Structure 1
């Protein structure tokens, strides 16, 4: 039996492929090694893996994760997961490679992630060959759920929100400005905290012009600082995975067109296509 997983900073989508080809899907939280320790990964997996998963029978684990962009971070996640999946060969790759493989298969092109965080690349049909650093949630991650959430929180702290939106925000979260600063600057996983407010933006129906403009300017920043910096970017179709890109795709498609690109594939999660890649195109390879 083997596991294939796509791990973001907030959530990991897993697929168990049994020896007779049956597929079983489940989720755990995300395990970005920039934000969680090896011990945290071990304890979380032991707590959150399905109770009926026969871990000792697994022979292979292919995990693509946010933050697994360097040998050091991949080794950190590998060491942690090897203590949980004790009899399996554990392979660790970057979630950006998962996105490219899920979106493009064996075809070259442009691929992006717009979820809790942001990432982009040019893919040659096998590997990521050009990647502009997103800067992560403090320095960059333009267009991400965290970026949208930060813009919303700044407007809340500074009193820039329309009154109807501010009232709705208070009724929903009961957060004072001091509460916000405490969560961002004194508690762990500030990226997840900020990203959760992209759902508020998506659900808001009291001042659509305000929230739509907030999302559009976030995507415009994403294009200005990342996408348009790739040489000849307009020759590629725009392909994207992630809940933010998928949920706000009507606004995203508008910004894509304004920047001279053609829409390709926009999907919420890569897991189905990633499983297909491993089972049909290139088994057991990260």
Structure 2
């Protein structure tokens, strides 16, 4: 049996697979080895493991998550070993999860467009090139956090059209001063800003020129500042995983074509692709 984990900052999605069939799915807290020590992860996961399975029968645990750099692999392995004593472990970054889910064992371009942004070239086994997104403070163009920051800035500075500004205020009931206070006081400002990206998909604002421009501008910044710096980038299909790419797929496809890239796969979650990858 194989246990696959896709770990984010707030939760980890686990899927148990046996002979190419999904046996069980469950969730636990999110784990980042840069911030969580092995004992903390073990204790948390022990509380979330369903009791009806003999977890000693797990042959492989494939764990993908943010912060899973090579020098942090041991943190995850040491946390998982007490729970899965007979398993071997495959620990990798969330970017590797995206590459494997989108491309399998084939080479190509893969991106994450969710709360944050990341991207790479992949040769079918390893990531060969990565243009640093530089995270929430310095970059993350095209992400939910980036879109949210754009909306917040436009609202505060009065750059939104009056009708959209009215809908925005009615939706969130926050003054400019309150918005600034909440962004700077929030312990996870990237996630807080990203929560505003859903405003762009609301029925009340659908098709409005301003809304379409915000989406296009943010995706154009992603291509202009990140994608075009990959060697021969336009020779690859644009493949993407993440909620922002999925929800705004039509706009993303249009912008990719502007930059000379045809669209390949755009998926919401990497899990199904990871299940297929680990069955080969």
User: Same fold by TM (over 0.5)?
Assistant: yes
Secondary structure at 1:205's aligned position in 2? helix
C-alpha change, 1:20 and 1:153, in structure 2 (3 Å) is closer
Deviation at 1:71, TM superposition (A): 2.3
Q: Counterpart in 2 of 1:284?
A: none
More displaced, 18-27 or 95-104? Answer: 18-27
Alignment of 1:106-255 (within 5 A): 106-206=105-205, 208-255=208-255
Structure 2 unaligned blocks of 5 or more:
none
Coordinate RMSD, CA, aligned:
2.6
Structure 1 residues 276 and 213: CA distance shift in structure 2, 3 A: same
What number of residue pairs does the alignment pair up? 278
Task: State the match for 2:15 in structure 1.
Answer: 15
Distance 1:59 1:32 in 2: 23
In 2, Cα distance between equivalents of 1:271 and 1:157: 38
Structure 1 88/191 Cα, relative in aligned 2: closer, same or farther at 3 Å? farther
SS at 1:154 equivalent? helix
Cα distance in 1 for residues equivalent to 2:164 and 2:28: 32
Query: 1:221 offset after TM fit, Å?
Result: 0.4
Cα distance 1:92–1:183, how it changes in 2: closer, same or farther (>3 A)?
farther
For 2:49 and 2:198, locate their aligned partners in 1 and report how far apart those are by CA, in whole Å.
26
Q: Match for residue 265 of structure 2?
A: 265
Contact 2:147 2:215 in 1 (8 A): yes
What is the TM-score of this pair, normalised by structure 1?
A: 0.85
> Which residue of the partner structure matches residue 277 of structure 1?
277
Q: CA deviation at 1:66?
A: 2.2
Gaps of 5+ in 1: 281-286
Offset of residue 76 of structure 1: 3.6
Which range is displaced more, 135-144 or 58-67?
58-67
Supply the distance in 2 between the matched residues of 1:264 and 1:59 (Cα, whole angstroms): 33
Map of 1:26-105 to 2, 5 A cutoff? 26-28=26-28, 30-33=30-33, 36-38=35-37, 41-42=41-42, 44-46=44-46, 48-50=48-50, 52=52, 55=55, 57-68=57-68, 70-82=69-81, 85=84, 88-105=87-104
